Amino acid sequence: MELLNGKDWELLISNIDNFLFDCDGVLWEGNTIIPGGVEAITYLKSRNKRIFFVTNNSTKSRVEYVKKFTTLGYPVEFEQIICTAFATGYYMKNVLNFEGKAYLMGRPGFKQELNELGINTSKVGPDLTSGELDAWSSIPLDPDITGVIVGFDEYFNYKKMTLAATYLSDPNCKFIATNEDNILPTGTKVILPGSGSLLEAVKFVSQREPVVIGKPHSPIFECLKSMANIDQDRTVMVGDRLGTDIAFGNRNGLKTVLTLSGVTSREQLDKELAKPASECKPKFYTNSLQTLTKEM
């Protein structure tokens, strides 16, 4: 594994056609831009490189992502965004040929993306039931539900778990999850549970394993390949998370760059590198995209 400096980056760029960027922890943290990000993307664009933004974050639709990129000053086009909301819809429509209705744990943007792709879903948002626990055993069910989707849902609660588990007790009910990220990067000391933490609860209560769409799993890569002809030898994945971004790159035969601007510390990287065999070892690492653009 090598530390990338500006010169190495330039060399890498000349051998790469497709740049896949993770977003949280690489381009921004929450609503704060990570320095050097805009310069790096703008430069690659000027070199006519193909750029995709491949994110496990399921909180937004592609339309909402375009707004976020634009607000922060990143040049972007709708077709460059491969988020799990889109990849989930792609998978359900083109791989599962999903029919019926999905019980969705997610945010409005996710619902909108799925509905626009022709996937019928339940409502999202707060859903509370009050009353004695005894009454919950006769909770009303939607007979049209044929699948359960777990994404990020800040209104996740006992009622939603009850419904998801009950629907999943039918072995024909599909079980799909956007990602397994345990936390959301915040840039503060507050720990925000990610979709993966909610998913663990649903897996445990249902005793079932979902198809996971996001990195490091293959459905999001299949979705990406449907958008562009990807020559794996000439593609790099740039991300801040070892278990998702770097494992995804390695599994799919891509080059990998870890940025230390997000959830992975230098100590964690060293620990990973000390393991004899790991799919989470990056080929290159850098402190942040700024290191690369500054030294060029």
Annotated catalytic residues are 22, 24
Cβ proximity to Mg ion: between 59 and 122 the closer is: 59
17 among the known binding-site residues? no
Between residues 159 and 251, which has the closer beta carbon with respect to Mg ion? 251
For residue 151, CA distances in Å to 26, 157, 178 come to: 21, 13, 5
**Least distance to Mg ion from the beta carbon of 179, Å?**
10
**For 155-193, b where at least 16 C-beta lie within 10 A, e where not — what string?**
ebeebbbbbbbbbbeeeebbbbbbbbbeebbeeeeeeeb
| Shortest CB 247 distance to Mg ion, Å | 13
What is the pattern of x (binds Mg ion, CB under 5 A) and - over residues 207-246? ---------------------------------xx-----
The residue written with tokens 């972007």 in the block is: 76
Q: Which stretch binds Mg ion (CB under 5 A): 134-142, 260-268, 275-283, 286-294?
A: 260-268
Instruction: Return the sign of the alpha-carbon dihedral for residues 91, 154, 164, 171.
Output: positive
Q: Which is nearer to Mg ion, 30 or 118 (CB)?
A: 30
Residue 24, marked binder: yes
Residue 121 pairs with which residues in a beta bridge? Answer: 102
Q: What is the dihedral angle through the alpha carbons of 30, 33, 39, 44, rounded to the nearest 10 degrees?
A: 0
d(CA 279, CA 185): 22
Nearer to Mg ion, 22 or 153 (CB): 22
Q: How far is the CB of 53 from Mg ion (least distance, A)?
A: 11
Q: Smallest Cα–Cα separation from 38: which of 14, 71, 15, 5?
A: 71
Cβ closest to Mg ion, residue 21 vs residue 91 = 21
CA dist 21 and 257 (Å) reads: 10
Q: What share of the chain is helix, strand, coil (3-state, %, to 5)?
A: 40, 20, 40
Within 93-152, which residues bind Mg ion (CB under 5 A)?
none
Q: How far is the CB of 167 from Mg ion (least distance, A)?
A: 31
Of the candidates 296, 294, 243, 295, the residue with the CA atom closest to the CA atom of residue 35: 294
Binding footprint of Mg ion, residue count (CB under 5 A):
6
Output the residue with the shortest Cβ distance to Mg ion. Answer: 25
CA distance 86 to 63: 10
> Please, which of residues 3-32 interact with Mg ion by CB under 5 A?
22, 24-25
- What's the sign of the alpha-carbon dihedral 37, 43, 45, 50? negative
Q: Is 134 a known ligand-binding residue?
A: no
Say what the alpha-carbon torsion angle 142, 148, 152, 154 is, to the nearest 10 degrees: 30
Least CB distance from residue 56 to Mg ion, whole Å?
7
Interface with Mg ion by CB under 5 A: which residues? Answer: 22, 24-25, 240-241, 262
Q: Which residues contribute to the annotated binding site for Mg(2+)? A: 22, 24, 240
Q: Which residues contribute to the annotated binding site? A: 22, 24, 215, 240
Q: Which residues contribute to the annotated binding site for substrate? A: 215
